[in-house]
A and B are shown apart, each in its own frame.
Chain A
Amino acid sequence: MALVLLLAAAALPFVVSNYRVFQLTMVLIYAIALLGLNILTGYNGQISLGHGAFYAIGAYVTAILMDQYGVPYWLCIPAAGAVCLLAGFLFGLPALRLEGVYLALATFALGVALPQLLKYKHLEAWTGGVQGITLIKPDPPLDSILGLKLNPDRWLYLFTLAVMVFMFVLGWNLLRGRVGRALIAIRDHPIAASTMGIDNALYKSLAFGVSAMFTGVAGALGAVAVAFVAPDSFTIFLSISFVVGMVVGGLASISGAIWGALFIQFIPNVADQVSKAAPWAIYGALMIAFMYVMPTGIAGALRLAWRRLQRRTGRGSQAAP
Chain B
Amino acid sequence: MDAFLHQVFAGLATGGIYASLALALVMIHNATRLVNFAQGEMAMFSTYLCWTMLQAGWPYWIAFVATVVLAFVLGIAIERIVIRPVERAPVLTAVVVFIGLLLILNSLAGWIYTYTIKSFPSPFPSKAPFGLTMVSAHELGAIGVTLVVLLLVYLFFRFTPLGLAMRAAAQNPDSSRLVGIRVGWMLALGWGLAAAIGATAGMMVAPIVFLDPNMMTGVILYAFAAALMGGIDSPGGAVAGGFIVGVLENLVGAYLIGTELKLTVALVLIVGVLVVKPAGLFGRVIVQRVRGRSRAWKPSPPPNSRRSRPPRSREACAAGRSAGRSWRSSCCSPPPPCPSW
Contacts and interface: CB of A to CB of B under 8 A. Distances in A.
Contact of B95 (A116, A119, A243): A243
Given A105-B224, A106-B274, A47 B92 contact: yes
A4 interface: no
A291 interface: yes
Contacts of B137: none
Interface string A117-156: 1011000000000000000000000000000000000000
B225 interface: yes
A202 B294 CA distance: 22
Interface stretch (A77-85, A184-192, A222-230): A184-192
Interface in B82-100: 82, 85-86, 89-90, 92-93, 95-97, 99-100
B290 A117 contact: no
B109 to A, nearest CB: 9
A192 B290 contact: yes
A116 B263 contact: yes
A68 interface: no
B144 to A, nearest CB: 29
Interface in A154-182: none
A102 B264 contact: no
Interface stretch (A6-14, A204-212, A282-290): A282-290
Interface string A235-257: 00000100110111001000000
Nearest to A192: B290
A285 B280 CA distance: 34
For chain A, the bracket of interface size reads 35 or more
Contact of B341 (A45, A105, A195): A45
B96 A116 contact: no
A1 B336 CA distance: 45
A101 B230 CA distance: 13
Interface string B280-294: 100000001110001
Interface in B222-236: 224-225, 228, 232
A189 B290 contact: yes
Interface string B248-263: 0000000000001101
Interface stretch (B50-58, B265-273, B327-335): B265-273
Contacts of A295: 86, 89-90, 93
A116 B92 contact: no
B101 interface: yes
- The dominant DSSP class at the B interface is helix
Given A251-B90, A284-B102, A98 B96 contact: no
A305 interface: no
A292 B104 CA distance: 16
Contact of B93 (A102, A247, A278, A285): A247
A187 B340 contact: yes
B275 A94 contact: yes
Nearest to A114: B264
A285 B105 CA distance: 10
Nearest to A113: B264
A112 B96 contact: no
A229 to B, nearest CB: 19
Q: Which of the listed residues B111, B267, B278, B341 has the most CB atoms from chain A within 10 Å of its own CB?
A: B341
Contacts of A248: 96
B82 A101 contact: no
A291 B86 contact: yes
A281 B108 contact: yes
B221 interface: yes
B106 interface: yes
B340 A292 contact: no
A279 B107 contact: yes
A291 B290 contact: no
A97 interface: yes
Nearest to A185: B294
Interface in B283-311: 288-290, 294-296
7 contacts: A101-B29, A102-B279, A188-B295, A285-B104, A291-B97, A296-B90, A296-B93
Given A102-B278, A288-B82, A295-B89, 7 more contacts: A106-B271, A109-B271, A240-B99, A284-B101, A285-B104, A287-B96, A292-B86
Interface of B: 29, 35, 82, 85-86, 89-90, 92-93, 95-97, 99-104, 106-108, 110-111, 221, 224-225, 228, 232, 260-261, 263-264, 267-268, 270-271, 274-275, 278-280, 288-290, 294-296, 338-341
